[in-house]
Amino acid sequence: MPDLETTEYFERVVRLKHPEVQDEWIQRVLADPYYTEPQDDGRIRYYGYVPELDHYIRVIVEEGKVHNRFIDGKKLQQWGRP
């Protein structure tokens, strides 16, 4: 898989907060999201289930670059396991 394009914020802050989230998982979510939604600020949210975590992750993309990502337990409760 190609390298992720990321924002400076992602590299300086996000990677340090949750180093357990692997780039491969982010790439899988972006390639085949379960759900997407635009944000009012122009960013796009991508959601995808990661079996290794048994959770969904939410990936925020800004201007074509990964800006943030979260482990999203609430979506697992709402959507269940695929």
Instruction: Report the Cα 56 to chain-centroid distance in Å.
Output: 9
pTM of the model: 0.88
**Which residues are CB-neighbours of 18 under 8 A, at least 6 positions away?**
69, 70, 71
Q: What is the total residue count of the chain? A: 82
Per-residue pLDDT at 1: 46
Burial class (CB in 10 A: 0-12, 13-18, 19+), 49: buried
**Which residues are CB-neighbours of 64 under 8 A, at least 6 positions away?**
5
Task: Please give the chain's pLDDT, 82 residues, in tens.
Answer: 457 899 999 999 999 988 889 999 999 999 999 999 999 999 999 999 999 988 999 999 999 999 999 988 777 788 877 7
Per-residue pLDDT at 66: 97
